[in-house]
A and B are shown apart, each in its own frame.
Chain A
Amino acid sequence: MRLAVPFKGMVQRFALLSLVLAAFGLMILGKAETVLVERMRTGVTDVVAPVLDALSRPVATMAEIVDNLRDLTRLRSDNTRLRGQIERLNAWHGVALRLEADNRTLRGLLNFTPGERATFVSARVIADGGGPFVRSVIVNAGARDGLRKGQAVVTGAGLVGRVSETGGRSARVLLLTDLNSRIPVVAEQSRTRAILAGDNSARPRLVFLPENAKLVPGERIVTSGHGGALPAGLLVGIVTSAGEGTVRIEPIVDWDQLEYVRMIDFESVTMKPEPGKPASSGGERRRGGS
């Protein structure tokens, strides 16, 4: 065993200490110079994105195989359940057709111009695993594909979160369960407005509820479109508990099955109101929270 020269040990200790201080410095920098740190972060993510993309594919395939096997065992019970569901949905289908016809007629009467038309960018989730303190994922699409900060991210089921950082070919999505996530929502039935605030738990809570708000478990919560950053009416979750003070909701998205997501390019539409007409609700650009 070779003994370290005392001088060398001192140098080593000094190096360690200065690096710890540098790391603390970076933490403060991250708070003060968010733009700079964000650029560094997206730069690194961009470089690593192809590797993550390649790595995540076989894992996704494996997960799919496991899923398929599990599905096979449930085939019979699923079948009965789905038959029942088709019956019920057929009834709804009829209702929808009738309403659509109604809607068309009424729109014709009102000279209504359909306002918001959104475009989508689809992407694959190539990294999650932020650990206990963050809830975010990386997707394999970036500014090059038309992604912008603040865009809503959805799956077929409903809202996932928002784009928080965009690199060239990768972007980070802040999930709605994250500590820093704030999303303006409205209860579908009672039209109670609130802000959905994540706290890293599986069930984010509703804050800024009106005094007399009456929310019952089971009520659907959708985005309100307030502030103009997100389109209105995206399903977010279901109210699970409406106890004293805190109302929590169960997000509709299945986090473990998050593989493909869609980013909604919505702002570009609301930002350009038709000439001579007032901007649709929330036309004002959001700046740092409403």
Chain B
Amino acid sequence: MKGSFWQRLDNVARRLVPLGLTLVLILFSVVPLHIPGYSSIVPMLALISVYYWAIHRPRLLPPIAVFAVGLAQDFLSGTPLGLHAVVLLLTYGAIVSQRRAFLGKSFLVVWWGFLVVAFAAVFVSWILASVLSGTLIETRAGVFQFLLTFALYPAMTALFARVQRVLPQAARNVPGP
């Protein structure tokens, strides 16, 4: 095959960057910040991450990784198990199938796309959470979560774009697992 053991190890490590980064973001999103009202409207950082990688490097964040990310979010934030997994997988599937519409488009177009995606994601999680709890959960916190997630998108994208430079160009041509 190609490359030495270390090269391959390095390659594997780099391939794990999107997944690792997303998991770290989930950890950060549950850390208590002691900001009034923050804990109920924490932005869905994992959603931004999944959206970004689904557009730019879907092969580095395969569906099984998105599933794992969703479960991690459910485990840590105490939401019904599977809720975030469903939401993130649906987002991922929708974006990957429409990927060509986003690639190479201006930042504003992609951000606008995220507006729709974030709204849909919060809405679907609201429906799922309401069905699972058997009551209509109040919507105010959800609306603010959506707005905050949307507002944080540019900053997070800047971070991801920087990280993406670390990922070797070669990673694109490495056959999938």
Contacts and interface: CB of A to CB of B under 8 A. Distances in A.
Contacts of A30: 80-82, 132
B78 A27 contact: no
Contact of B30 (A29, A37, A60, A128): A128
B17 interface: no
Given A15-B63, A41-B81, A45-B75, A132 B86 contact: no
Interface string A25-45: 111011100000100110011
The listed residue with most B CB atoms (<10 A of its CB), out of A8, A128, A256, is A128
Interface string B63-85: 11011001110011111111101
A99 interface: no
A68 interface: no
Nearest to A134: B78
**Chain A, interface size: which category?**
35 or more
B93 interface: yes
A198 B128 CA distance: 19
18 contacts: A12-B62, A22-B67, A24-B82, A25-B82, A26-B82, A30-B81, A52-B27, A60-B34, A63-B34, A129-B39, A129-B42, A131-B77, A131-B125, A132-B129, A134-B78, A138-B76, A255-B39, A256-B37
Nearest to B73: A131
8 smallest beta-carbon distances between A and B, as pairs? A132-B141, A26-B82, A23-B85, A27-B82, A63-B34, A133-B129, A127-B30, A128-B39
A26 B85 CA distance: 9
Given A23-B70, A132-B141, A255-B39, A16 B34 contact: no
Contact of A200 (B44, B128, B138, B144): B138
Interface string B31-64: 1111111111110100000000000000000111
Given A63-B34, A131-B77, A132-B126, A31 B132 contact: yes
A56 B62 CA distance: 30
A20 B86 contact: yes
B137 A131 contact: no
* Secondary structure call for the A interface: helix
A59 interface: yes
Contact of A133 (B30, B35, B37, B79): B79
Contacts of B67: 19, 22-23
Interface string B7-34: 0000000000000000000011111111
Given A20-B93, A51-B27, A129-B39, A134 B79 contact: yes
A55 B26 CA distance: 12
A133 B125 contact: yes
A271 interface: no
A257 B36 CA distance: 8
A136 B76 contact: no
Contacts of A44: 72, 75-76
Contact of B33 (A59, A130, A180): A59
A55 B64 contact: no
B142 to A, nearest CB: 4
A132 B126 CA distance: 8
A10 interface: no
A113 to B, nearest CB: 41
Contacts of A219: none
Nearest to A164: B78
B90 A52 contact: no
A154 interface: no
Contacts of A86: none
A2 B86 CA distance: 29
B66 to A, nearest CB: 8
A128 B128 contact: no
Given A30-B80, A41-B81, A130 B31 contact: no
A10 to B, nearest CB: 13
A27 B31 contact: no
Given A27-B83, A130-B78, 15 more contacts: A12-B62, A27-B86, A29-B82, A30-B80, A30-B82, A128-B39, A129-B42, A130-B30, A131-B141, A132-B141, A133-B125, A134-B77, A135-B40, A172-B78, A257-B34
